[in-house]
Amino acid sequence: MGALELVLLVIAVGLGLIVLVTLVRSVRVVPQQTMEIVERLGKYSRTLTPGLNLLVPFLDAVRKKLDMRENVVTFPPQPVITSDNLVVSIDTVLYYKIVDPVRATYEIANYLQAIEQLTVTTLRNVIGSLDLEKALTSRDQINHHLSEVLDETTGRWGIKVTRVEIKAIEPPASIRDSMEKQMRAERDRRAAILHAEGLKQASILTAEGEKQSAVLRAEGDRQSRILTAEGQAKAIRTVVDSIHAANPDSTVMAYQYLQALPQIAAGASNKLWIVPSELTKALEGIGGALGGLTPMSDERRERLVRSHADASDGGESTDAIEAREQAEAAAAEAASAAAAASAEVSGGPALSGGGHRSLPAAEAEDILPEATR
């Protein structure tokens, strides 16, 4: 009995293990965005979707798990020859997504390797038709062409290529040095052009400023001269109006004319002085005006006697009378001197046409102070 029970116990444990393994193999939990390909006896049976799935134990087997999310793969740098026979190294980045798990499993053995090789060959075809400068500046065009070719080819494999990007294009070191020198020369040329343009604009602005300044200065000078002329004209009109309002006689005008003559004769460089013929008339007028004071009329003599009498009665004093007589004597003397100067100036022959007489400056300076004292 003991041996039989032991055998039955072993059989029961074995059956329990078989049942447990069968249950475990018959239940399959698939995570989100993942699909599994199930084969039954080596043949495609079905595709497990996310969630709980049941399998036939020992008959169904999961061959491959596929990630349905968009994937990114970076390919190693690939040497490519351009149309101008330069070898450049190009790095690419590929974005793809599995849209049909069955085709991705059974249509191609290794879709990643196939996409890589297809990308390399397409790059060589595209870059081979471009020179280096065009290849460096036409990345969008190259990316678009790669996407079209890869999408068309990988569609049969149940894969959608969403985007292809060229990560880097590395020319040889010698070409990079040449490009750097070229760019440096181009920057220097642009800097020189900008500097020249700046100097040109500065010169133009400076010339414009000087032009405007000169115009403004000329305008200011013109306005100043106009205002000065207007002021002088107003002053002359005022003087003329004052003279007409005062109504001076010829004696005053002759005296003023005589006072201006020494200023005309002043100056060490004056060797010859033109004396107008009207000077004699002016001196005669002054002599006549002052000469009228020399003879004492009977009426004035009687007035003087009367003033002496009044002074004795307490009127004007004798000193005042003597002071007045001295003033009259000085006036008579001045009149005599003016008459003598007039006679001396008018003694020479008059010039024809201009009515002027030329006198040396020293002789004129001797005559004029004598006549104006």
Q: Rounded CA gap, 287 and 355, in Å?
A: 21
Give the model confidence (pLDDT) of 274-325 as tens digits: 555 555 555 555 555 555 544 555 555 565 555 555 545 555 555 555 556 6
Containing 370, the helix (H) or strand (E) segment is helix 361-372
Residue 291 tokens read as 């000469």
* pLDDT given for residue 198 in this prediction: 92
At residue 180, the pLDDT reads 82
Instruction: Kindly tell me the burial class for residue 109, based on how many C-beta atoms sit within 10 Å of its own C-beta (0-12, 13-18, 19 or more).
Output: exposed
pTM: 0.46
Residue 59: CA count within 13 A, CB half-sphere = 6
DSSP 291-327: HTTSSPPHHHHHHHHHHHHHHHTTSS-HHHHHHHHHH
Q: Which residues on neighbouring strands pair with residue 60, listed in sequence order? A: 40
Residue ranges covered by each domain of the chain: 21-67, 71-175, 250-372
Task: Tell me what the pLDDT averaged over the chain comes to.
Answer: 75
User: Which pLDDT belongs to residue 240?
Assistant: 75
Tell me the pLDDT tens digit for each residue of 196-225. 999 999 999 999 999 999 999 999 999 999
Residue 51 structure tokens: 């969630």
Residue 251, pLDDT score: 62
> What does the block give as tokens for 331?
């006036």
The CATH number given to 71-175 is: 3.30.479.30
User: For residue 187, which amino acid is it?
Assistant: R
State the Cα–Cα distance between residues 82 and 137, nearest whole angstrom: 13
What percent of the chain is helix, strand and coil (3-state, nearest 5)? Answer: 60, 20, 20
- The Cα-based distances of 270 to 18, 28, 245, 279 in angstroms read 153, 138, 37, 19
- In percent, how much of the chain has pLDDT > 70? 65
Ranges of the chain with pLDDT below 70: 1-2, 246-373
